[in-house]
Structure 1
Amino acid sequence: MKTTFSMLGTWEPKRLKIADIAREAGVSQVTIYNYFGSKEALISESFKDFIQQGIHEFREEMRQQKSLKELIAYCIHKEKETYSHLPPAVIKEIVVDNQEMYQYIQQQYEAHIRPLMVQMVEEGQARGEITGKVSVRAVLLAIQIYMKSTGEMLDSQAAHEDSEAFVEELIHIFFYGLCGREPQ
């Protein structure tokens, strides 16, 4: 599965063959078919494993009692990592064009990701990192809008002279808007 996921960074899923995966992984094609049944199932299971690993890693980040800003920065950097490994067209083919995978991600979002995000926002409010003027629902919507724009933001970041400084600017805009911090 790790080999398959790695290969998806440079191969289109439609062009990827079991023979290529088996050769790269150092296993027989029969072994792959015995475990997964098809190339599509192998790709699907590899991507599901990636999703599960991401949820686990985010949960671990939250256990470390990081600030809201650190957690949002972590999410942005993870998105950057994902898009630098998997081209957007591959993600679209695996996630958007595959109804089963899309439903799986929606289930994972509702069961695991959304509750973690609610917890993150509530903890941020309790620590005074988020104003009491906004609801958890509004913060989650703002985060969703931001994350949906990740592809465009990462494209802009790649063209920026100092990409890390650019990410910091985006994080600043997310937290403080265009006018800086609101007076206390």
Structure 2
Amino acid sequence: MNGYEKRTQDKKNQVLEATLDLMSNYTGIENLTMDEIAKNAKVGKTSIFKYFGSKENLIHEVFKYFLDKIGKTAREIMSENKPFEETLIAMTQNKIHHLEKTNKQFYLDLMDFVTTKGDDGLSLMMQQYIKESYNILLDLFHRGRKEGKVDLKYSDEFLLTYFQALVEGISSPHVYARILPYTAQWTEVFIKGIAPSK
């Protein structure tokens, strides 16, 4: 990437971060204006249109950027090759951290954008994100089996479904704020639940 491309990408990221910040603290994307985004990003409105084409495309890119950030942090956590329990705690904290930084409306807007707008690109992106998340979790569960922390009687499918059910439960706004201080305990209960019998 040459200097011009790097500056362009930095500006794009600046716009994405500013828009994500507004959307995370806002009451809905339909009320969000390009003027507010430009002001928050400290760039001209024409630059935003040059980079993203339209508000809808920008919103699409913000959702992609948000999911990419979660995925990137998860990959970094996995690459540290820490023991199963430490890795699972860090992964859980990562999810809660990202949930904590956004409001309920952000998730409603994200889901609405995926389903109502019929945006195949975003749907494909969500499928890709889910697939990558599952692959990371499978790697983690396989690590847990090797360490003797995950009972061999539990199939990959069961473990993924079980973990997904737990995460979706704590993703509820009235739950995740209360569970944040108990991340270690929540993870300990989860680990004990899938650990081999003594």
- What fraction of aligned residue pairs are identical, expressed as a percent? 20
* 1:93 alignment partner, one of 109, 121, 129: 109
Moved over 4 A (4+): 180-183
* 2:32 alignment partner, one of 3, 13, 16: 16
TM-score, length of structure 2 as denominator length = 0.79
Q: Distance in 2 between matches of 1:137 and 1:66?
A: 24
Equivalence for 1:139: 159
Equivalence for 1:6: 21
Unaligned runs of 5+ in 1: none
* 1:107 alignment partner, one of 107, 128, 150: 128
Q: Distance in 2 between matches of 1:182 and 1:115?
A: 22
- RMSD over aligned Cα atoms: 2.2
Given that 1:96 and 1:102 are in contact with CA atoms closer than 8 Å, whether structure 2 keeps it comes out as: no
Q: Distance in 1 between matches of 2:178 and 2:184?
A: 15
Equivalence for 1:56: 72
Q: How many residues align?
A: 177
Unaligned runs of 5+ in 2: 1-15
Given that 2:137 and 2:160 are in contact with CA atoms closer than 8 Å, whether structure 1 keeps it comes out as: yes
Distance 1:147-1:96 versus aligned 2 partners, 3 A rule: farther
Equivalence for 1:29: 45
Residue 67 of structure 1 pairs with residue 83 of structure 2 = yes
Q: Distance in 2 between matches of 1:53 and 1:80?
A: 13
Distance 1:3-1:91 versus aligned 2 partners, 3 A rule: same
Give the letter for the 2:130 counterpart. Answer: Y
Q: Deviations over 1:85-129 (max 9, x none)?
A: 21122112123442333432112322x222222111111111111
Q: Distance in 1 between matches of 2:32 and 2:111?
A: 17
* 2:168 alignment partner, one of 148, 170, 173: 148
Q: Deviations over 1:44-82 (max 9, x none)?
A: 112212212221221111111122222322232222222
State the Cα distance separating 1:157 from its structure 2 match. 5.5
Give the letter for the 2:157 counterpart. Answer: R
Question: Quick check: which one's helix share is greater?
Answer: 2
